[in-house]
Amino acid sequence: MSTTPSSPPPDKPGGYGYSARGGNPLAGMPLPINPELLIWALVVIIVAVITLASDAVNASGFVTAMTALTVGYLLSRGIAKASRVLEH
């Protein structure tokens, strides 16, 4: 003899603890752009303004700073992705 499962009470949210009523529906959604990339772009703009406003920093100094910042950004992204691969 089989019995049908009872439905959850109406006052409790159903379905594995997920409820779209009270929480932020975008909380679990990935961002369309990486926040680290936004910070990197902001730093590029700041360094460009410093380069234009200062006599002490010339074009070669700007290229050197951008190279170092880009290498640092790419290394940080690679380390972050590698740590996520190891978690799975």
pLDDT, one tens digit per residue, over 21-38 is 555 666 666 767 777 788
Evaluate if residue 17 carries a pLDDT over 80: no
Contacts of residue 73, Cβ cutoff 8 Å, sequence gap at least 6: 36, 37, 40
- Listed by start position, the domains of the chain span 35-87
Does this model's pTM top 0.85? no
pLDDT per residue as tens digits for the range 34-49 = 777 888 889 889 989 9
CB 40: neighbour CB atoms within 10 A? 19
Residue-averaged pLDDT of the chain: 76
pLDDT at residue number 74: 86
Q: Which H or E element spans position 42?
A: helix 35-53
Residue 45's pLDDT is what?
A: 93
Using the predicted structure, report yes or no on whether residue 20 has a pLDDT greater than 70.
no
pLDDT of residue 49: 92
Contacts of 62 (CB under 8 A, 6+ apart): 47, 48, 51
Give the CA distances from residue 31 to residues 37, 40, 64, 72, 76, in Å, rounded to whole numbers and listed in that order: 12, 16, 31, 22, 18
Number of Cβ atoms within 10 Å of the Cβ of 54: 10
Residue 14 and residue 8 in contact, taking contact as beta carbons nearer than 8 Å: yes
- Confidence (pLDDT) at 27: 63
